Amino acid sequence: MSKVVAESAVDVPEAGEPVWRIALFFPEQGGWTESDYLNLDGGPLVEFESGVVEVLDLPTKEHQRIVQFLFVLLRAFVSAQCHGEVFVAPLPVRLSPGKFREPDIIYVDADRGEYKGVPDGADLVVEVVSPSADGRRRDTQTKVTEYAAAGISEYWIIDAEMETITINKLVNHSYDAVLSFRRGEIAKSQRLPGFEVRVDDVLNSAAGC
C-alpha cells in the first residue's frame, strides 16, 4: 500500500516545480521541422537551426528602448523612400533552408520574396547586443558569420556596454568592410544611402525620457 502511495505522489505537481510534461507536447531537439518552428505560439524569442530550437534571452527595458528608437528612425526613412519595409522582432527571417533567426530590426527590399509568410532573407538587420555572455557571443560572432552567409548586405551591431555601433558591410560573401562608430560620431548606412544616426542619440535612448 505504501509503495503505491509513494509512486502516485511522484505524479502530483508541486508549486515551484518546472512544468516538465509540457515538453512532451513538442518534438525532441534535432527532430523539429520548419513547420513546427513557424507554428509556435507567441512567447519568448526562439530561433531555429537544423532541427534544434534555441530560446533567447528576454530583453531588458534598456534593450527595447534602443530597438524602438532605431526602428522608428529607420521606418520613417524607408517609408519616405517608398521602397521596402522595416519590421521589429519577433519576426523570423529565413537565412537558409533549416535556419531562422529573429533580428531585433529587419529591413527588406520591396523585391525580396517570402517563405511561408516570413522574409526569405533580409537586406539590413540590426541587433542590440544581449547582456549575457551567450547573447554577446551570438550577436558579435555567430550572427556575423550567419548573416554574411545569408547574403545580408549590412549588419548593424549596437553595443551599449562598449558604447559602439558597428556596421558590417558585405563584400564578396563576407563582412570584410567593418566600420565602428563611437560617441560623438555619426553612423551612416551604405545599403541605404542617406540613413544616418548619431551614436550619442542611440545610446542615450536606453535611458528613456
Can you give the pLDDT of all 209 residues of the chain as single tens digits?
Answer: 444 444 444 455 566 676 666 676 678 888 888 887 777 666 566 766 677 777 777 778 999 999 999 999 999 999 998 889 999 998 999 999 988 999 999 999 999 999 999 999 999 999 999 888 888 999 999 999 999 999 999 999 999 999 999 999 999 889 998 999 999 999 999 999 999 999 999 999 999 87
- For residues 65 and 91, membership in a common domain is answered with yes
Q: How many CB atoms lie within 10 A of CB 110?
A: 11
- For residues 108 and 33, membership in a common domain is answered with no
Q: Are 148 and 173 in contact (CB under 8 A)?
A: yes
pLDDT of res. 3:
43
The CATH number covering residue 123 comes to 3.90.1570.10
Domain that holds residue 31: 2-55
Distances (CA, A) of 179 to 107, 175, 182, 185, 188: 19, 10, 10, 12, 9
- For residues 65 and 18, membership in a common domain is answered with no
- For residues 75 and 119, membership in a common domain is answered with yes
pLDDT of res. 12:
55
- For residues 173 and 105, membership in a common domain is answered with yes
pLDDT of res. 44:
61
- H-type helices in 1-142, by residue range? 2-10, 34-38, 61-81, 133-137
- For residues 141 and 77, membership in a common domain is answered with yes
Residue where one domain finishes, among candidates 40, 55, 70: 55
Number of domains the chain is built from = 2
pLDDT of res. 13:
57
- For residues 38 and 137, membership in a common domain is answered with no
CA geometry: angle 48, 60, 18, nearest 5 deg:
60
- For residues 186 and 83, membership in a common domain is answered with yes
Residue where one domain finishes, among candidates 35, 55, 75: 55
